[in-house]
Amino acid sequence: MPARAEISRDEVAHLAELARIDLSDAELDHLAPQLSVILESVASITAVAGDDVPPTSHPIPMTNVFRDDVVRPGLTAEEALSGAPAVEEQRFSVPRILGDEQ
């Protein structure tokens, strides 16, 4: 699909939903035009490289980097929980994860 150099307010709202960020109407009004300008500036890239150019995901290629299979110390439960917003019975305490309809 050819890339379009524009992004609508509705699309931004949808992307924010996918990215799990509540955006207010004021934020959508502010960010949507800026995002269009950014996308316009990068749109030129769609025509730069042909099919014969392989992609690079990593500048210094490495494969199968393993460490020795030996026990090494990790965090204690107290350390792991030390930054948690809420803790209960040595566990992370989180809000409900199911919706009413589930």
Partner 1 sequence: MSDLTRRTAAQLVDALATGEVTSVELTQAHLDRIAAVDGTADAGIHAFLHVDAEGALAQAAASDERRAAGRVAHALDGVPIAVKDVLTTTGLPTTCGSKILEGWVPPYDATVVARVKAAGLPILGKTNMDEFAMGSSTEHSAYGPTRNPWDLDRIPGGSGGGSAAAVASFQAPLALGTDTGGSIRQPGAVTGTVGVKPTYGGVSRYGLVALANSLDQVGPVTRTVLDSALLHELVGGHDPLDSTSIDRPVGGLVEAARQGATGDLTGLKVGIISELAGDGWQPGVMTRFAESVALLEQAGAEVVEVSCPSFVHAMAAYYLILPAEASSNLAKFDAMRYGLRVLPEGVDAPSAEQVMRASRDVGFGDEVKRRIIIGTYALSSGYYDAYYGQAQKVRTLISRDFAAAYEKVDVLVSPTAPTTAFRLGEKLDDPLAMYLNDLATIPANLAGVPGISVPAGLADEDGLPVGFQVLAPALADDRVYRVGAALEALLEEKWGGALLTQAPELDGAAR
- Binding of residue 5 to partner 1 (CB under 8 A): no
| Contact flags string 50-79 toward partner 1, x per CB under 8 A | ---xxxxxxxx-x--x-x-------x---x
Q: Is 20 helix (H, G, I), strand (E, B) or coil?
A: coil
Dig out the tokens for 73 from the structure: 């110390």
What is the nearest approach in angstroms of partner 1 to the Cβ of residue 91?
Answer: 11
- Binding of residue 21 to partner 1 (CB under 8 A): yes
- DSSP structure string for 34-94: HHHHHHHHHGGGGGTS-TTSPP-S-SS--------S-------HHHHHTT-S-EETTEE--
- Binding of residue 26 to partner 1 (CB under 8 A): no
What is the nearest approach in angstroms of partner 1 to the Cβ of residue 90?
Answer: 14
User: Residue 7's CB: how many other CB atoms inside 10 A?
Assistant: 20
Residues near partner 1, by CB under 8 A: 1-3, 7, 11-12, 15-16, 18-24, 27, 30-31, 34-35, 37-39, 41-46, 48-49, 53-60, 62, 65, 67, 75, 79-80, 82-86, 92, 94-99
